[in-house]
Amino acid sequence: MKDYTYSLENYNPKVGKHICPSCNHRNVFVRYINNDTKEYLDGTIGRCDREDKCGYHKKPKEFFQEHPSYQVEQPYVYQNVKSEMVQISAYIDDETVASTLGQYGSNFFVQGLIDVFGQDEVMKAVSRYKIGTRVDRDDEVIFWQFDQYMNCRSGKVISYDRATIKRGKTISWMHTILGLNDFNLSQCLFGEHLITSKHDPVIVVESEKSAIIGSIVIPEFIWVATGGKSSGVADKLKVLKGHKVTLVPDIDATESWKKLVEENTDLQGMVVNKYLFCVATEEQRKNQYDIADFLLDERRSDCAKAKLP
């Protein structure tokens, strides 16, 4: 084997630092590089900047002793490095997110919910999910996606009618609105940051609105949303491996989600709930009812009843 020398990577602002494999903080980990080939070593070899709080430092020599098979000269796959670079740049910074957390008086989605569920419950949900407001665009709400490490993967912008809490047709993304070029969107579950323990029972729904409303009506569960019925659902769900998970698909996605769970070993043990599929009337099917519609109907009829003399 050729004798290589290794050194810590020089800081490159374009790449930034990496995610520490020990404390999982982002932008703090400096990796070792092969001085000859300029390639990264394994992603766990490097030093964390958080010397006091984390203190992780894995030197190449130490790693090779623990993993003797790595002694063989092997091409370290450069694509890995690239994909991590992309991932690292693809977060929205905390200040940008913070600047959207307010002005809920002119946020139709939030006000629509308050009309049904009241100020207290809704504002708790707003702060739980860190729902954002678009200034001067009252009908638009920002559903920020935070992953389990509180990295913000971007925000989905949807317009809502205040009276019906029904959405408009178009979706846009905050990274596009902010003009972040080359932003490689890597979505996660909406509400993923709320899952803190393997013991938390989780309900997965399709839309952000359903997750928020579900969390108000049935708070015993952590409600997360895939943000759609098909693209990337299985990938997003992998983070829930080992959790107690119930999937509540929209009526038209019941069969496809069932198939998804059956075909993915990572999703083993997740239960697809067919309640909506079973109880929906023909009319509700035609109107593509989802769990949020059911919960809203229920709450509205409760309120109607309560108003009766």
Using CB under 5 A, list all residues that contact Zn ion: 20, 22-23, 48, 50, 54, 56
CA–CA separation, 189 vs 161, rounded Å? 24
Cβ of 235: how many Cβ atoms within 10 Å? 14
CA–CA separation, 265 vs 2, rounded Å? 40
Shortest distance (Å) from residue 199 CB to Zn ion? 26
Shortest distance (Å) from residue 23 CB to Zn ion? 3
Owner of token pair 């958080």: 50
Which residue, 56 or 173, has its beta carbon nearer to Zn ion?
56
The β-bridge relationship of strands 152-160 and 201-205 is unpaired
Shortest distance (Å) from residue 48 CB to Zn ion? 3
Which residue, 50 or 241, has its beta carbon nearer to Zn ion?
50
The backbone torsions φ and ψ at residue 211, rounded to the nearest 5 degrees and listed phi first, read -65, -45
Which residue, 19 or 276, has its beta carbon nearer to Zn ion?
19
In 3D, which of 145, 146, 141 has the Cα closest to residue 110? 141
Shortest distance (Å) from residue 189 CB to Zn ion? 24
Shortest distance (Å) from residue 47 CB to Zn ion? 9
CA–CA separation, 244 vs 189, rounded Å? 16
Shortest distance (Å) from residue 54 CB to Zn ion? 3
Which residue, 50 or 162, has its beta carbon nearer to Zn ion?
50
Which residue, 56 or 64, has its beta carbon nearer to Zn ion?
56
Which residue, 25 or 130, has its beta carbon nearer to Zn ion?
25
CA–CA separation, 257 vs 259, rounded Å? 5
CA–CA separation, 204 vs 272, rounded Å? 9
Strand partners for 131: 143
Which residue, 18 or 128, has its beta carbon nearer to Zn ion?
18
C-beta separation of 261 from 286 below 8 A: no
CA–CA separation, 253 vs 229, rounded Å? 6
CA 241 → CA 198, 214, 219, 227, 265, distances in Å? Answer: 9, 21, 21, 19, 9
Shortest distance (Å) from residue 186 CB to Zn ion? 21
